Amino acid sequence: MFNQVTANPKRSARLTACFLLNALIIILIPRIAFAQDKIYKINNAVIEAKVLEINKTQIKYKKFSNQNGPAYIIPVKEISMIVYENGEKEVYNQGQRTQSTSALASTNNSSVANPSLTKARSFILTENINEAIASYGKLIKADGTNPALLSEDAYALALAGIYDAALLRLDICRSIGAISPEINYFTSQVFALMGYNDLAEEFLKLMPENKAPVWISAKGPVLLQKYRSKQPVILTKTREQLIANFKRANELASEQQYFQSIAMFHDIVNTYPNEYLPYVGYSISLEKTGAIAKSAQSIEKAISLMGNSPEDQANRQFLEKRFAILKQNINLLPAYSASDMPASKIPDVARPQVMAYAGGNVSQQLTSFNGRIGYFVSGSSNAAVDVSIMKYAEYSSSNIGLSLYNRQNIFVSGAGFSLNSANGNSAFSLKLSVGISKMNRNRTTSFDAFLDMNKGLKKDALTTFNFSVGMSKYFGKRK
Number of helices (H), then strands (E), in the chain: 16, 14
Supply the mean pLDDT for the chain: 77
At 215, the pLDDT band (50, 70, 90 cuts) reads: very high
Task: Give CA–CA dist 447/409, Å, rounded.
Answer: 13
55-59, 72-76, 144-148, 318-322: the lowest-pLDDT one:
144-148
pLDDT of 187 > 70? The answer is yes
Q: Over pLDDT 90: what percentage of the chain?
A: 18
The residues facing 358 across adjacent strands are 371, 471
Q: What is the pLDDT of residues 117-151, one digit of tens each?
A: 999 999 999 999 999 999 999 998 888 778 888 99
Task: Give CA–CA dist 88/68, Å, rounded.
Answer: 24
3-state SS assignment for residue 424: coil
Query: Hey, what domains does the chain have and what are their CATH numbers?
Result: 18-96 (2.30.30.100), 112-332 (no CATH), 354-475 (2.40.160.20)
pLDDT of residue 85: 73
Q: Highest mean pLDDT: which of 46-55, 220-229, 353-362, 363-372? A: 220-229
Q: Cα torsion for 375, 379, 380, 382, to the nearest 10°?
A: -10
pLDDT of residue 146: 84
Q: Highest mean pLDDT: which of 80-89, 151-160, 460-469? A: 151-160
Strands 89-91 and 79-83: antiparallel
At 167, the pLDDT band (50, 70, 90 cuts) reads: very high
pLDDT of 100 > 50? The answer is no
Task: Give CA–CA dist 266/73, Å, rounded.
Answer: 39
pLDDT of residue 379: 61
pLDDT of residue 7: 35
- Residues 166 and 158: beta-carbon distance below 8 Å: yes
331 exposure class (CB count in 10 Å sphere: 0-12, 13-18, 19+): exposed
3-state SS assignment for residue 42: coil
pLDDT of residue 204: 85
pLDDT of residue 120: 92
8 vs 68, higher pLDDT: 68
pLDDT of residue 63: 83
47-61, 248-262, 460-474: the lowest-pLDDT one:
460-474
pLDDT of 6 > 50? The answer is no
Average pLDDT over residues 286-305: 90
Give the N- to C-terminal CA distance of the chain in Å, as an integer: 24
pLDDT of residue 477: 54
| Widest Cα–Cα separation across the chain | 96
pLDDT of residue 76: 87
Any residues with CB less than 8 A from the CB of 115 and at least 6 apart, and which?
A: none
Q: What is the pLDDT of residues 305-343, one digit of tens each?
A: 988 888 778 788 888 888 888 888 775 444 333 323 233
Average pLDDT over residues 34-58: 78
Task: Give CA–CA dist 400/391, Å, rounded.
Answer: 15
Strands 71-75 and 79-83: unpaired
161-170, 190-199, 246-255: the lowest-pLDDT one:
246-255
Q: What is the pLDDT of residues 332-387, one digit of tens each?
A: 444 333 323 233 333 334 445 788 888 887 777 778 888 888 887 766 788 888 88
pLDDT of 250 > 90? The answer is no
Sign of CA dihedral 99, 105, 109, 113: positive
Task: Give CA–CA dist 196/342, Å, rounded.
Answer: 9
Task: Give CA–CA dist 279/329, Å, rounded.
Answer: 19
CA atoms within a 13 Å half-sphere pointing along the CA-CB vector of 237: 3
- Residues 417 and 6: beta-carbon distance below 8 Å: no
Q: What is the pLDDT of residues 387-417, one digit of tens each?
A: 888 777 667 778 888 888 888 778 888 888 8
Distance, CA of 274 to chain centre? 13
- Residues 213 and 121: beta-carbon distance below 8 Å: no
